[in-house]
Amino acid sequence: MTARELADTLQRDRRLDPEGYRRLITARDAGLLEHINSLAREAAQANYGNAVYVRGLVEVSNYCRNDCYYCGIRRSNRNVERYRLSQDEILECCRLGDSLGFRTFVLQGGEDATMNEAFVTGLVKAIRKEFPASAITLSLGEYSREAYQKFFDAGADRYLLRHETANREHYGKLHPASMSFDHRMDSLHALKEIGFQTGTGIMVGSPGQTDDNIVEDILFMEAFGPEMIGIGPYLPQCDTPFAGERAGSLEDTLMLISIFRLMFPPALIPSTTSLATLAPEGRERGILAGANVVMPNLSPPENRAKYALYDNKKAFGAEASEGLRELEAQMEKIGYRISYDRGDFVNGKWKMENGK
Ligand code: SAM
């Protein structure tokens, strides 16, 4: 079978054998990429039309107890000016987002000990009370199952927790020994069992990542069945141990977005800030590869530069809430429209349309 036929098979069956995935990710052929991107666009459009959902991203804190080797807000980085938003400040961001039409708020941050179970539960309750119709997504890292349950009961709908890598050895190259691969995986399973729309994903081209690792990531995702998939290139940050490592590639990222779209037609897949940072028109290319979500930054402008996960991170213009018109124009130019709906996962619809 040619690689092109493999892409067609993935579109039809939503699955390949491991060797098939491996051939797609190693082909690195422009014609194949164009073909699979167009199949992935069709799959996204069959489910969501030409809608691209916006989520308002609030970066709530850049304090972090973890020391991930790739991340600019890791504990050991002394060159970051730390900040943490209060509940009132976070609510103020949500109010601004609400006035702009956002119906999903994504709260993301480092693992900040101050943002403990009680704080997050109280925060979620306050947002839920003030914005009963909006979706609340958390991306705050690892907590206990009991804490996740409290967040869910308080009104959180979705949780983003990239698995980063499904390979234990590779996990050990990206993280210090104090961090646990098993705990990350257990956390993901707990989130799903509790009933969150759960998102996971990887950095493409993270240091030490092999093609085999990516196949393992794909197989993990196949078994896990995420509702949301966060795929973006790894980008170096100058104060981390990986400062001298190469960034992930645009083409590999676009190939993976398309593979995941074909595997999971109803998934919510962002065209990430890291993709927009990596390449001119990266955001648009992500949408044209099958992504259907964008997450403009709603954080107070004075804090954005401090949430520097990687160098030159985009946080203004079309990447920000105040640049929504620019974002709308970018999307219109490629035939898409911004949707201000909550944009929940709609597996049932896909199943009906496909008679499965
Ligand atoms: N602390 C939470 C967690 O671990 O899930 C959420 C915040 S964390 C900064 C969000 C994501 O940023 C991570 O899952 C990681 O994939 C991504 N990230 C961190 N450093 C990055 C880098 N240098 N390049 C690209 N993405 C990066």
Reported as a single tens digit per residue, the pLDDT across 212-233 is 999 999 999 999 999 999 999 9
Q: Ligand 1, residue 203: give the atom nearest the CA.
A: 16
C-alpha–C-alpha distance, residues 328 and 323, integer Å: 9
Residue with tokens 């093609």: 211
Measured from the Cα of 70, ligand 1's closest atom is 23
CB atoms within 10 A of CB 168: 11
- Rounded to the nearest angstrom, the distance between the alpha carbon of 52 and the centre of ligand 1 is 23
Please give the number of the atom of ligand 1 that sits closest to the Cα of 109.
7
The torsion angle over the Cα atoms of residues 339, 341, 345 and 346, rounded to 10 degrees, is -90
**What spacing in Å lies between the alpha carbon of 202 and ligand 1's midpoint?**
9
Sheet holding 135-139, edge to edge: 56-61, 104-109, 135-139, 158-160, 197-204, 228-233
pLDDT for res 232: 98
CA 67 to chain centre: 20
User: Residue ranges of the chain with pLDDT lower than 70?
Assistant: 348-356
Give ligand 1 pocket residues (Cβ under 6 A): 70-71, 108, 110-111, 139-141, 161-162, 164, 203, 232, 234-235, 237, 274, 309-310
The enclosing H or E element of 139 equals: strand 135-139
Secondary-structure percent of the chain, ordered helix, strand, coil, rounded to 5? 45, 15, 40
* Residue type present at position 174: L
Taking the C-alpha atoms of residue 285 and residue 30, their distance in angstroms, rounded to an integer, is: 14
Q: Long-range contacts: 317-326, Cβ < 8 Å, 24+?
A: 318/276, 318/283, 319/273, 319/276, 319/283, 320/296, 321/56, 321/96, 321/97, 321/100, 321/102, 321/296, 321/297, 323/296, 324/54, 324/100, 324/296
- Rounded-to-integer distance, Cα 222 and Cα 351, Å: 17
d(CA 34, CA 22) in angstroms, rounded, equals 18
pLDDT in tens, 141-180: 999 999 999 999 999 999 999 999 999 999 999 999 999 9
